[in-house]
Every structure is written in structure tokens, then in C-alpha cells.
Homo-oligomer: A and B are copies of this chain.
Amino acid sequence: MKVSETGEFMLINLIRDLILKNNKFHGMVDNKLFTGIGDDCAVWRSSGNLQLSTTDSMVQDVHFNLNYTSWNDLGYKSIAINLSDIAAMGGVPQYAFISLAINPGTEVEHILDLYKGMIKISNKYGVLIAGGNISSADKLSIHVTVHGYSKLKTVLTRSSAKPGDKIAVTGYTGLSAAGLTLLKKNLKTRKNNSSIFINAHLRPEPRINEGQLLLDCGVKTAIDISDGLLADLGHICEASNVSATIEEPLLPVYPALKNAFKYNYLNLLLGGGEDYELLLTADNKVMKKVKTSLSCPVTIIGEIIKRGKTPVKISGININDTILKTPGWDHFK
């Protein structure tokens, strides 16, 4: 049945029922939610020292293509990209608010699948879907706001990098951009590695636990890699008024990435966005702690230096200049 047949209020009831039955943090005894879906606002008792909010969106044919993205994956990712911003501050995610714009011709089943993906990741990371809004539009767009808090009296910021800090990255980058390349061209890589890349693109995992551990270790500076490693390192340099040098031989190269993309794996690794890994800076002592505390790979790739002409330099590399000049993703260029 199509959304135009059920109407707005019936659709909202279906979604509310789905969430109340499956989003496991609703109705829990220790829950702090006072009123949830179905009133003018969501209301809760405050917790934690610092409150965090972030908003991010996914627009059809800009951020995703329904030809190769399932509704469930889309729901999962729309929450993941917001949780990643909470992770980048070392926060604990708590409540999600969903503002949807959907075409009236959409199947209700698809919308419910979208929410099933949202509920899946929400249950995984302790998030409660506490409110939202639905309106009609030609094309689908999903605007999510996630609210959370910090357990400590501080958060990770972009603006606290200092000369002498080492620069490190969690996990591997470039996989999501590789997945997007495969999906767009309807290609598969040899040796069945395609699904690793495609999954990295369609169903990314936010580094929630790792973000909180970074804060525990005494890290002050982090950002999540959504625009691309170089671009996001550039954002740290801008906000902290410093520069950075990267050593090419130190970069963590995911073996299957190099195998499948022999000629442009470095472009993907440095310029490809949507990895949702964390990029951090800290002094040697703190970095040592980080390396033993986190269970995922943490690779030191360079160092923060005094502010120079170029925000980010890469030594030991012959890289296409255009990558360095226009790294990352700009929605309008």
C-alpha cells in the first residue's frame, strides 16, 4: 500500500508502533524519557555534564541512489552518520529525531523498512528514537538530529591540536569510496572482496565506543572522517590554527583496497569520504595509552606542526596535485 493511501496520521501510527515494539530502550525502567513520540516535543530528564547535539541528512540522488541502496541500509546509515559525530566528540548518544520528506507514491512497507534499519542501529548503540516529523516531497530526504551527553566534563574538539602532537587514524580509510565506485559502475572486484567495500559504504559503523575511550585516555582533539582523511585533517588544522605533515609510508593501507584499486588506492584512502573512522591528535604519552586501550587498529600517520602556508603536507608521495588541492566532498562544486 502506498503512503498516499494510508495518509499521514495512519503512517505515523504504524511507525510509532514499530518503534515502541522494537526500539528496545522505550519503556525501560531506568529510562529518563518523560514523553516520547506523540506529543509536541520529546521530554527527558537531563543527564551527564555536557549535552551534545548534531544534525546530518541524506538526500535522494545526492547522498544515495535507491537503485543500489536498500531502505533498511538507508535507515541504518542515516543514524550512523549522526552517531559518528557524537563519537567524534567522545559522547554517549541518547535520542534521535527523524525529519522525513517522502514521495506520496512510496510504498508504506519501504518506509517501515527504513525505520527497521534505524531501529537496528539504535538498539546497537543505546539510542532511543524519541520524535520526528513527516512531510511530502518529490524526492526522499532524511534529516536526523541526535542528542547525547558526555560522561566527563569535557569533549573531543577539532580546535585543540598542538604542534608536536602525533596524528593517528582508527581502522582503514578509502573502503567506503571504493564501495561507492563499485556500486556506481555496477562492478565487482575479483576474489569476492566487493562486499567489504560495499558494506563499508552502505552500512558504516560509528566509532562510539572508541570515541569515549579516546576521551578517557586524555585525547583532546578528534574529528570523524566524513569528508575524507585529508579534508578532515584540514578541518582540524583550520580550527586549531596549525599545519600537519603526513608520512606516506605510515598510511594504513587495507590490503584488499590496494589489490582491487592498484592505481588509485591512495586517492581513495586520502580523498574518499564517508569512512566514519576517527582522526585524532595527541602527544606521545597519550597516544601510547590510546594504542593499548582501543581494540581496533590505531595508526600514527604524521605530526602536527606550527601553522605554515599549506595546512596539510604529505612527504614521500607522488600524488596527483588535484587531490591535495580539492580534497573531500563539496556538495555544490
Which residues of A come within 8 Å of B, CB atoms?
A: 3-4, 6-9, 11, 34-35, 38-57, 59, 62-63, 85-86, 88-89, 91, 95, 97-99, 101, 104, 130-139, 141, 143, 145, 147-150, 155, 157-159, 223-224, 239, 330-333
- Also in contact, A150 and B43, with CB within 8 A (given A136-B332, A332-B6): yes
Q: Is the CB of A97 within 8 A of B55?
A: yes
- Also in contact, A40 and B85, with CB within 8 A (given A7-B332, A55-B131, A332-B3): yes
Contact partner of A41 (CB less than 8 A), chosen from B3, B49, B91, is B91
- Apart from A43-B50, A43-B52, list 15 A-B contacts with CB within 8 A: A4-B332, A8-B332, A38-B159, A40-B88, A40-B224, A41-B88, A41-B89, A41-B155, A42-B52, A45-B51, A46-B47, A59-B136, A101-B143, A138-B139, A141-B141
Closest approach, in angstroms, between the C-beta of A100 and any C-beta of chain B? 9
Cα of A245 to Cα of B145 in the assembled complex, Å: 38
Contact partner of A332 (CB less than 8 A), chosen from B11, B54, B57, B332, is B11
What are 24 A-B interface contacts by the 8 Å CB criterion? Answer: A7-B333, A11-B332, A38-B159, A39-B89, A39-B157, A39-B158, A40-B54, A40-B158, A40-B224, A41-B54, A41-B91, A43-B50, A43-B51, A43-B155, A45-B50, A46-B47, A46-B48, A51-B147, A53-B130, A55-B143, A55-B145, A137-B139, A141-B141, A143-B143
In the complex, chain B residues whose CB is within 8 Å of the CB of A38: 158-159, 239
Closest approach, in angstroms, between the C-beta of A43 and any C-beta of chain B? 5
Closest approach, in angstroms, between the C-beta of A226 and any C-beta of chain B? 9
